[in-house]
Amino acid sequence: MKELIAFFTLDPSEPLIFWAQIIGFISLGFGLITFALSKRRHILVAKLACDFTSAIHFFMLGAVVGGAICLVNSARSVVFYYRGEKRFASHISVPVIFSILTIGCTAIGWAGWYSLLPAVGSVLAVVGFWCNDPRLLKLFNLPAVALWLIYNVITGSIASSISNTISIVTILVSLIIALRDYLKKKDDAGEQARENSTPEEKVTK
């Protein structure tokens, strides 16, 4: 929390925190559109830009674990983008490797129990981004973003905390809309089936 306090009581001799937060808001811009997109590849491009700028942001704040994991996540987005096109990106070992790298970053930069939050969140995100279904991607990323939100509050990342909060709301709204459309489609299909049934079938029903 000291970075958060330092930002709002900013001393001219502490420009690093100021610029760290500015870069964080650039990352926020990319994060705002990530989970609002519907196509998996578009989501991954936005996530790459968000993770790379977030890595710079966290390193400047002194949150080494968060910065290192964001670098791993940037590489993950590049590899996952080519899943289905390139053989190296489609092997089942890919999500395992990125999960191990994430855990390794946490072990090396360990700063306390809260270092586990982005690690667990990123492992959940690995599973989500490995899925081809955008709905599953968002479902796995919901708890992942929630864990990052707690970490960001602790480390004093203002923009990332805002981004995570908005992302959680965006994911929830997107999932609710998807569920509504699915139920509506199911009801329409049932109604169509009843209309197409023969009189004898209607009596039976």
Question: Which residue range is the domain that position 133 belongs to?
Answer: 2-176
Assigned domain for 205 exists: no
Residue 53, token pair as written in the block: 């700028």
pLDDT (tens digit per residue) in 185-200: 877 776 777 777 655 5
Strand, coil or helix: 14: coil
Domains of the chain: total = 1
Q: What local confidence, expressed as pLDDT, does residue 35 receive?
A: 65
Euclidean distance between CA atoms 148 and 37, whole angstroms:
20
Strand, coil or helix: 152: helix
| pLDDT(203) > 90 | no
Assigned domain for 201 exists: no
Euclidean distance between CA atoms 3 and 54, whole angstroms:
15
Looking at the whole model, is its pTM more than 0.85? no
Assigned domain for 43 exists: yes
Assigned domain for 196 exists: no
pLDDT (tens digit per residue) in 55-64: 999 998 889 9
Assigned domain for 106 exists: yes
Of 148, 187, 177, which Cα lies nearest the Cα of 47? 148
Assigned domain for 114 exists: yes
| pLDDT(147) > 80 | yes
Assigned domain for 181 exists: no
Assigned domain for 139 exists: yes
